[in-house]
């Protein structure tokens, strides 16, 4: 680490990002050794077993869905959207942290992001993959929805309805998925080259070689690589804000009390970052233990993420307050009723209070430095947040829909076993993809970790910072 410009003990002084005592060699060996080894930790098998079992459930439920129709779920009239869209928004929200960490923190030169950005990006991709299931499969005729939602030239000269927020969704989510995938892959290239060079099996050499796209590590490669990566980061940064903004339009554009609110875009983005960081922590804490990555994902990382979680959580709670305030302040009888129904006299009021517990009360534990450094506590808190963010969407979607304008159309919504199978099935898909990734690709960026070593920085570098 470079000499600090701050005096000893100043809180502004940078804290080392990785623990001391590492060399280029030790980092490379540790991080490649995790993948290029015939030994797989037992825990990996356990998680894969759970993940694959749930994934089987997803396959089964989606097959049954295709055979019978949406009716296997609990959706009805008036509650046209339920678990399907809740799950969609939940997963999309989770998919926000990756790009935020990679792009925005990169642009802000937050070097601690290096230890976590790779698997956060992977998490983003997999979360978006889980989310993408729903816009297709929640429709009555998915075999048509799969392509009718895209503007393709056709003999009927029919275009999608560009006024519909669902079409904006299609563009926002597909753009986000594409850019995130490219960003992630570009970031992987130097490490894939490392794998190619270190792999012993000719097959692996070949596979990683193809994926490394001929990377030789020349200065020209590095120059172009850095430029491209920065450009992609610049491209992704606005997407972090735009995707959930557009998703929130699905609701904000509608006339329904509880949906029709201008606060939704920032409130959804904050919620997404909150959910994303909670999910990164949910993954980081067990992975760190499983692969003994304490030197790379240090307490500083976890604390920083906990702090971001706490702050975005407070932003989200501010959103709840605003929603409630404007519901009352509007003076609109439907808005006011929606609020009362949501908070105290509706049959789903308990979900609102569960949400408050999960998203507001429990995360306040993170104010305490002692608790923030206790990983069992942090893990418990972020699990609450994961549940809370799901409940938030339940409250927004189901509670608003089940009692709208005409009391005669008020009905209850009850999920079926297939709703739960699909929800847990996507969790299975997510776990499976995540753990396959961990097994075959470097979950921590090797070359970027190397740049964090003191020797990576020339002594005469004025800033003393890695990039």
Binding site for other proteins (CB under 8 A): 68-72, 74-81, 138-142, 144-145, 148-149, 158-161, 163-167, 170, 250, 253-256, 333, 337, 347, 401, 403-412, 414
Compare residues 71 and 238 and give the one whose CB is closer to other proteins. 71
Shortest spacing between CB 307 and other proteins, in angstroms: 37
Compare residues 108 and 147 and give the one whose CB is closer to other proteins. 147
Compare residues 231 and 417 and give the one whose CB is closer to other proteins. 417
Compare residues 323 and 404 and give the one whose CB is closer to other proteins. 404
| 225: its two tokens | 């690589």
Compare residues 139 and 351 and give the one whose CB is closer to other proteins. 139
Shortest spacing between CB 59 and other proteins, in angstroms: 20
Compare residues 14 and 142 and give the one whose CB is closer to other proteins. 142
Shortest spacing between CB 418 and other proteins, in angstroms: 12
Shortest spacing between CB 158 and other proteins, in angstroms: 7
Q: How far apart are CA 54 and CA 51, in angstroms?
A: 5
Compare residues 141 and 224 and give the one whose CB is closer to other proteins. 141
Shortest spacing between CB 254 and other proteins, in angstroms: 5
| 189: its two tokens | 């290239």
Shortest spacing between CB 330 and other proteins, in angstroms: 12
Shortest spacing between CB 159 and other proteins, in angstroms: 8
Shortest spacing between CB 458 and other proteins, in angstroms: 55
Compare residues 81 and 112 and give the one whose CB is closer to other proteins. 81
Q: Would residue 155 be called left, alpha or beta, if left means φ above 0 and alpha means ψ between -120 and 50 degrees?
A: alpha
Compare residues 37 and 157 and give the one whose CB is closer to other proteins. 157
Shortest spacing between CB 404 and other proteins, in angstroms: 7
Q: How far apart are CA 126 and CA 56, in angstroms?
A: 17
Q: How far apart are CA 283 and CA 288, in angstroms?
A: 8
């Amino acid at each position: 680490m470079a000499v600090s410009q701050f005096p000893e003990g100043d809180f502004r002084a940078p804290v080392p990002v990785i623990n001391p005592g590492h060399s280029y060699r030790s980092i490379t060996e540790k991080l490649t050794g995790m993948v290029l080894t015939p030994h797989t930790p037992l825990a990996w098998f356990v998680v894969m077993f759970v993940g694959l079992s749930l994934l089987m459930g997803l396959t089964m439920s989606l097959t049954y869905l295709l055979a019978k129709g949406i009716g296997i779920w609990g959706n009805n009239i008036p509650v046209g959207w339920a678990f399907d869209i809740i799950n969609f928004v939940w997963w999309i929200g989770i998919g926000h942290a990756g790009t935020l960490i990679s792009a925005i923190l990169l642009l802000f030169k937050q070097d601690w992001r290096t230890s976590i950005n790779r698997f956060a990006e992977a998490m983003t991709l997999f979360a978006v993959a889980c989310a993408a299931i729903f816009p297709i499969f929640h429709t009555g005729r998915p075999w048509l929805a799969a392509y009718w939602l895209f503007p393709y030239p056709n003999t009927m000269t029919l275009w999608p309805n560009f006024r519909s927020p669902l079409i904006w969704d299609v563009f926002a989510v597909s753009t986000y998925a594409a850019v995130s995938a490219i960003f992630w892959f570009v970031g992987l290239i130097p490490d894939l080259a490392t794998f190619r060079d270190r792999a012993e099996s000719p097959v692996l050499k070949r596979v990683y070689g193809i994926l490394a796209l001929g990377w030789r590590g020349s200065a020209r490669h590095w120059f172009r690589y850095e430029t491209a990566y920065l450009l992609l980061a610049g491209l992704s940064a606005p997407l972090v804000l735009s995707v959930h903004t557009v998703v929130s339009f699905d609701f904000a554009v509608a006339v329904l009390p509880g949906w029709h609110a201008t606060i939704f875009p920032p409130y959804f983005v904050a919620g997404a970052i909150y959910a994303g960081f909670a999910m990164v922590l949910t993954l980081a804490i067990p992975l760190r233990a499983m692969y003994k990555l304490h030197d790379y994902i240090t307490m500083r990382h976890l604390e920083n993420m906990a702090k971001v979680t706490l702050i975005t959580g407070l932003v989200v709670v501010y959103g709840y307050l605003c929603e409630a305030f404007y519901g009352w302040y509007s003076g609109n009888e439907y808005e006011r009723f929606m609020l009362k129904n949501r908070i105290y006299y509706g049959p789903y009021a308990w979900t609102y209070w569960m949400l408050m517990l999960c998203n507001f009360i429990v995360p306040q534990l993170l104010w305490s430095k002692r608790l923030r450094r206790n990983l069992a506590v942090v893990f418990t808190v972020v699990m609450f947040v994961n549940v809370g963010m799901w409940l938030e969407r339940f409250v927004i979607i189901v509670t608003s829909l089940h009692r709208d304008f005409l009391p005669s159309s008020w009905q209850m919504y009850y999920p079926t076993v297939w709703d739960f199978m699909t929800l847990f099935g996507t969790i299975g898909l997510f776990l499976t993809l995540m753990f396959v990734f961990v097994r075959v690709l470097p979950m921590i960026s090797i070359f970027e970790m190397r740049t964090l070593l003191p020797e990576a920085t020339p002594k005469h570098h004025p800033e003393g910072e890695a990039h």
